[in-house]
Amino acid sequence: MIPRLQTAASALLSGYYHVLGSFAFTGHAPFASGTVGSAAALAVYWFLPFTENGTLLLLFALGFLFLGLPAAKALEKRYGDDPSVVVLDEAVGMWIAVAYLPKIWYIAVGAFLVFRLFDIVKPAPARQFDRMGGAGGIMMDDVIAGIYANLVMQVVWALL
């Protein structure tokens, strides 16, 4: 009986990691899964009322960052190095990109575009994290991209 229980618990945990790491399966988009995951995170941001509070949004992002580490590790074990199915890192980065910004559609879209640019280009130290590999590397390059995007958008907002 115990081995069956362990197998069931392992399958349940594996499913949890898959749903979490793929950000509710958006990581299974047939192409541009990172963009799809970022867009889904932007939708979550847009529709959750507490996200107008930058501190609560940042705590939300940090919570998912820490939840995402074991999920990224599990999915990397299943799919190989830095699998495209893992897009929770994009969600976390996207939420960081919009934290402490006004919840205005054109600011949100601008943050999305700037975040995607930084996530693709990977300016230092994002590139170093990306090359580091492992769950930390998977998650942290997007955190850096989100920070850079937020800084750019803070300047843009100040100039508007």
* pLDDT level of residue 2 (50, 70, 90 thresholds): low
| pLDDT value of residue 4 | 72
Does 8 have pLDDT greater than 80? Answer: no
Q: Is the dihedral of CA 65, 91, 89, 80 positive or negative?
A: positive
| pLDDT value of residue 88 | 98
Average pLDDT over residues 43-49: 97
Nearest to 64 by CA among 153, 142, 152: 142
Mean pLDDT across the chain:
95
Average pLDDT over residues 23-39: 97
| pLDDT value of residue 147 | 98
Taking CA atoms, 70 is separated from 20, 23, 89, 136, 154, in Å, by 10, 14, 12, 9, 32
Range of the domain at 58: 2-159
Q: Residues 86-125: pLDDT tens digits?
A: 999 999 999 999 999 999 999 999 999 999 999 999 999 9
Domain tally, the chain: 1
The residues, any chain, with a CB within 8 Å of residue 20's CB and separated by 6 or more, are 67, 68, 71, 88
Does 34 have pLDDT greater than 70? Answer: yes
Q: Residues 133-149: pLDDT tens digits?
A: 899 999 999 999 999 99
Q: What pTM did the predictor assign? A: 0.94
